Chain A
Amino acid sequence: MAERVQRERTPQRIDEVAEATPTAARAVDYDAILDQIDSVLEADAEEYVRSFVQKGGQ
């Protein structure tokens, strides 16, 4: 079991990937992102939400 856990990790370890996430970027404010969102959302929110109908599932 120990061997199996150690043997097969994803190639890049979690902490390495986490460190690669730019901390400076996290401090950026939301404005640019909100601009982007404004540009991609459909104009008629009410209609969009109402038309999202799914059949049931599990």
Chain B
Amino acid sequence: MTARILGIETEYGILAPSAPDLHPATLSAAVVAAYPGIATGTVLDWVDPIPIEDAHNRVLANGARLYVDHAHPEYSAPEVTTAADAVAHDLAGDAAVVAAARAASAELGLEIGIYKNNTDSQGASYGCHENHLVARSVPWAEIARHVPSFLVTRTVVVGAGRVGLGRHGERPGFQLSQRADFFETLEGIQTTRRRPILNTRDEPHAPPSRFRRLHVITGDANRSMWSTWLKAGTLAAFLTALAHGALPDLQLADPVAAFPAFSHDVGLRATLELADGRRCTALDLQEAACEAVLADAEQRPEDYEEDVLAAWAEALADLRTDPSLVADRLDWAAKLALLDAYAARHGLDWGSPRLAQLDLAWARLDRPGPFDALRVAGRLRSVVTDADVARAGVEPPSDTRAWTRGRLVAAGPDRVTGAAWDWLTMKDAAGVERRVDLAEPAGHTRADVGDLADEVAVEAFLRSRPARG
């Protein structure tokens, strides 16, 4: 069994309302450069996947990357092994980008808004991508058979909710997902146009003979911890069951058409055709997946996160009973309940810009908004504590290679001369450049390399690595 390794990367919306002519790539670069925590410099020899000309690219002391991608600040959280750690590091990313934006805002004398959503409802979409390490022995045909139907039905659980239907929000209404209206094909390598449900990019950043990295681009950026937790944890569990051959043969006839159709079905009643001619709701398919995973977990409990599976089953049961029951934990339902209350108070319908405004304010991270009001009022369930998030902002996960990456950056950010996910180069105290191999995603951990907490330990570690060149 391949160790569970996953990570979430988020492109944030960015806006300087007083400087509409400032190009967002320039603004994003200023934000990345202003990150106030410990990090490598902005010009770093990161060869893959970001080319050097886009090298507003920093590695942080927690093993994450902060960079500019397609005119957005993007944060790639470090590799983790549990869904709860993915939540802590996702929120640490929000905090890092907000801190960087505040610093840039002070330097430039500009208000800079940071948004965790996936569309401006004016035709643009930007992603929150998930990465899961999968054993190379799992046939691609099996992934292609099972994963699309899972991704387009999980929206009922992990959608972030959106005011407006269509790429330009041209039809009034509410839907479960931010991203569903932006996908056109079933399979492909591209991410910015004709987006595919199943992305075929295969850069494992690990020994390719043993691993594939499944790069998932359909998901929403979530604000609720519970949504992020289930987004990360249920896909990891689904892929584990897939690798075990434990999934039922239930595929939608047309996943591409199903994605928006299910997303627009807030009542969760719409049925769509399966490949075998039967019809199912999104909830039916999620329940079938959850049951299969639970049955496999009975046989091999050590391969699963029990608390994630219990929360998944509970959320599905609540959705079946009454979708408003999950307004205490899932993004779309919490947002919809608030929008309904706000619309009732002010007599608004779905075409009102005030509801679209509330949706944007929900996503805005750099000032307290409606999401924070719900959270502070204790209306949203937590997964990790504020202390966990603060720690994830400065300390890498101890049980993946991110440990070594982050600790070396913490020890000498200015001595790091290059970095990728699977290697790093750094000068030792004598100025000799050393190459640190990080090929094993589940290796190079705290247990493997120690704390690397002081200069003596870091120097000894570097000197044991080969000189570069």
Contacts and interface: CB of A to CB of B under 8 A. Distances in A.
A19 to B, nearest CB: 10
A36 B381 CA distance: 20
B374 interface: yes
Contact of B129 (A33, A46, A58): A58
Contact of A54 (B13, B361, B387): B13
Contact of B17 (A8, A10, A13, A51): A51
Contact of B24 (A20, A32, A54): A54
Given A4-B3, A30-B341, A53 B70 contact: no
Interface string A12-56: 111101101110011010101110110011100110110111111
Contact of A25 (B13, B85, B378, B385): B378
Contacts of B120: 52-54
Contacts of B399: 4, 7-8
Nearest to A51: B17
B84 A15 contact: no
A32 B345 CA distance: 12
Contacts of B354: 41, 45
B356 A8 contact: no
A57 B123 CA distance: 11
Interface residues of A, number: 42
Interface string B120-164: 111111110100000000000000000000000000000000000
B398 interface: yes
B379 interface: yes
A21 to B, nearest CB: 5
B368 interface: yes
A56 B81 contact: no
B50 to A, nearest CB: 12
Contact of A5 (B305, B345, B388): B305
B307 interface: yes
Contacts of A15: 307
Nearest to A36: B373
A39 to B, nearest CB: 10
Contacts of A51: 15, 17, 20
Contacts of A32: 377
A5 B302 contact: yes
Given A8-B399, A10-B85, A49 B382 contact: no
Contact of A17 (B70, B341, B345, B383): B383
8 contacts: A14-B307, A17-B382, A18-B381, A30-B341, A33-B377, A41-B361, A52-B121, A57-B71
Interface of B: 1, 3-4, 11, 13-15, 17, 20, 24-25, 69-72, 81-82, 84-85, 88, 115, 119-127, 129, 191-192, 217, 229, 302-303, 305, 307, 311, 328, 337-338, 341-342, 345, 352-354, 356-358, 360-361, 367-370, 373-374, 377-385, 387-388, 397-399, 442
What 7 pairs between A and B have smallest CB-CB spacing?
Answer: A57-B126, A25-B378, A2-B302, A55-B71, A58-B191, A45-B357, A30-B341
